[in-house]
Amino acid sequence: MTNWLTPITLKGQKVDLIPLDISHREALLKAASDGNLWDLWYTSVPFVETIDSYLNFAFEEQANQRALPFVVIDKTTGQIVGTTRYCNATPEHKRLEIGYTWYAKTYQRTVINTECKFLLLRHAFENLDCMAVEFRTHWHNHRSRNAILRLGAKQDGVLRSHRIDKDGSLRDTVVFSIIEAEWKTVKKSLRFKMGQY
């Protein structure tokens, strides 16, 4: 299972997912400033003071084969509009999580997220041979929880007092997943949804 998460570009009709690089720093800051996404207390969107540690952690996790981060490119404009990544990967169990996903406010609630998730899930199940793909989000992030459910994921449970946030508050984490046996139906559903845009 060495190099299970080999960097790859995932190409869609509306978006391309390309491996995150340090050269994307300024474009990510610009995308995050569309809506001042860092102001949402239950997310971890980077801003000027945190972008370097955010990127360093992503690269460190990638070097340790636990993550594969991407930037999201709008193919119409060629602009970086957000980021997402495979994370918490355990190749020995054929499991990974899709997380650290955020988009500029202009691109939220568009086909962008649906196609990104479709590309990531298809690669995970059809190329990486995953048994399960997880999604995790903050209990209070209702928009994210609903978006995950719309993908076709099922809620596995809630990890109570799962983490201590920087301000000392406790985070409850909601865990969802799609398993390999469900992928064929989820794929059909996502294709249908993408066709509606």
| The pLDDT of residue 33 | 85
pLDDT in tens, 78-112: 999 999 999 999 999 999 999 999 998 888 878 89
What are the two backbone dihedrals, phi and then psi, of residue 17, each rounded to the nearest 5 degrees? Answer: -105, 115
Strand 10-11 and strand 15-19: pairing?
A: antiparallel
Average pLDDT on 162-188 reads 94
The answer to whether 158 and 173 have CB atoms below 8 angstroms apart is yes
Q: What is the pTM of this model?
A: 0.92
Distance CA 171, CA 33 (A): 25
What pLDDT does 78 receive? 95
Residue type at 119 in one-letter notation? L
Question: Could you give the CA distance from residue 24 to residue 40 in angstroms, rounded to a whole number?
Answer: 22
- Chain segment 115-143, per-residue pLDDT in tens: 999 999 999 999 999 999 999 999 998 98
pLDDT at 150: 92
Question: What distance in Å separates the CA atoms of residue 100 and residue 62, rounded to the nearest whole number?
Answer: 13
pLDDT (tens digit per residue) in 16-58? 999 999 999 999 999 988 755 554 555 577 888 889 999 999 9
With residue 186 as reference, give the H or E element that holds it. Answer: helix 183-196
Summarize the confidence of residues 141-170 as an average pLDDT.
92
Is residue 56 within 8 A of residue 64, CB to CB? The reply is no
**Domain map (residue ranges) of the chain:** 10-196
Tokens 């945190």 belong to 50
Give Cα 159 to chain centroid, integer Å.
19
Can you give the pLDDT at residue 166?
79
Kindly state the tokens that stand for 83: 């980021």
User: What residue ranges in 67-169 does DSSP mark as E strands?
Assistant: 68-74, 79-90, 95-103, 132-138, 154-164
Query: Which CATH superfamily groups domain 10-196?
Result: Gcn5-related N-acetyltransferase (GNAT) (3.40.630.30)
Residue 167's pLDDT is what?
83
